[in-house]
């Protein structure tokens, strides 16, 4: 299954790859060169296709837990001063996505969207310490009954040139529903109350909508 954000790109990529493969087949006599070109084009299309995959998963909503919004590797677990919305210390958990990860962003908690804001910015590598404040990003805050306000921030990276954000202020949203999509690698930060119990460790691989990041 593919995510809707990839339909147009996949159609263009498929058309180009098929067209170039037909040209190679018709106009190149060297069988080794012809085969190499066709195999390379096929591999390129498969790489693009896997980026936009959206696998079916057995999602279970867990109101007392915060689920990972994305697939990837945990790269930050620390107390920080969050100055855009809370203006106080929060527990930050950050997940880095490589181009090989599923790039759907999911709501980590159930509640109501009280903030959805886009920030233009730079395209520093996603693990750069200043990427959370200087890169192109979107900030979404969901007010939940169990955790209060939970902020998750999509951050563009060196390869991510487009962030898609579906959250609208006033929306009632469910945990694991699609919150957005980041094209071609990046990271997502989650900001939680300091008294939440962390369930993950640094460098741990997590799955969006499946892995528990923290609980009350």
Residue that wins the pLDDT comparison between 44 and 140: 140
So what's the architecture of 65-215 in CATH?
Distorted Sandwich (2.70)
CA angle 148, 153, 156 (to 5 degrees): 175
pLDDT of residue 58: 87
For residue 168, what are the contacts with CB-CB under 8 A and spacing of at least 6? Answer: 113, 116
Of the pLDDT bands very low, low, confident and very high (cuts 50, 70, 90), residue 131 is low
Annotated catalytic residue within 21, 116, 186, 201: 186
pTM of the model: 0.82
pLDDT of residue 132: 62
Q: How far is CA 190 from CA 18, 151, 154, 211, in A?
A: 41, 6, 9, 14
Residues linked to residue 152 through DSSP beta bridges, in sequence order:
140, 190
Least confident of 3-7, 15-19, 22-26, 68-72: 3-7
Percent of the chain whose predicted confidence (pLDDT) is above 70 = 89
Of the pLDDT bands very low, low, confident and very high (cuts 50, 70, 90), residue 31 is confident
pLDDT of residue 142: 98
Provide the pairing of β-strand 172-173 with 137-144: unpaired
Q: DSSP of the chain, one letter per residue? A: -B-GGGHHHHHHHHHHHHHHHHHHHHH---HHHHHHHHHHHHHHHHHHHHHTB---------TTEEEPSSSEEEEEEEEEEETTTT-EEEEEEEEEE-TTS--EEE-SS-EEEEEEEEE--B---TTSTTHHHHBSEEEEEEEETTTEEEEEEEEE-SS--EEEE---TT-EE-TTSEEEEEESSEEEEEEE-TTPEE---TT-EE-TTTSEEEE-
Summarize pLDDT for 175-207 with one digit per residue, the tens.
999 999 887 668 899 999 999 999 999 999 999
pLDDT at residue 43 above 90?
A: no
Is 186 an annotated catalytic residue? yes
Which tokens belong to 205? 């691989």
pLDDT of residue 129: 58
For residue 182, what are the contacts with CB-CB under 8 A and spacing of at least 6? Answer: 70, 97, 103, 105, 154, 156, 160, 162, 163, 164, 188
């Amino acid at each position: 299954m593919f995510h809707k954000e990839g339909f147009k790109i996949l159609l263009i990529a498929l058309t180009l790859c098929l067209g170039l493969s037909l040209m190679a087949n018709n106009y190149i006599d060297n069988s080794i060169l012809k085969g190499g070109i066709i195999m390379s084009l096929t591999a390129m299309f498969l790489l693009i296709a896997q980026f936009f995959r959206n696998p079916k998963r057995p999602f279970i909503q867990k109101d007392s837990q915060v689920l990972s919004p994305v697939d990837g590797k945990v790269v930050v677990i620390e107390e920080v001063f969050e100055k855009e919305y809370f203006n106080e210390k929060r527990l930050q958990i950050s997940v880095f996505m490589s181009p090989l990860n599923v790039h759907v962003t999911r709501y980590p908690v159930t509640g109501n969207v009280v903030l959805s804001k886009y920030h233009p910015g730079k395209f520093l590598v996603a693990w750069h310490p200043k990427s959370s404040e200087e890169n192109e990003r979107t900030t979404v805050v969901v007010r939940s009954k169990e955790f209060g306000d939970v902020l998750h921030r999509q951050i563009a990276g060196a390869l991510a040139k487009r962030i898609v954000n579906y959250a609208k202020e006033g929306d009632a949203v469910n945990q694991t529903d699609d919150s957005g999509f980041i094209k071609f690698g990046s990271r997502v930060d989650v900001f939680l109350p300091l008294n939440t119990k962390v369930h993950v460790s640094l460098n741990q691989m997590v799955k969006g909508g499946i892995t528990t990041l923290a609980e009350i």
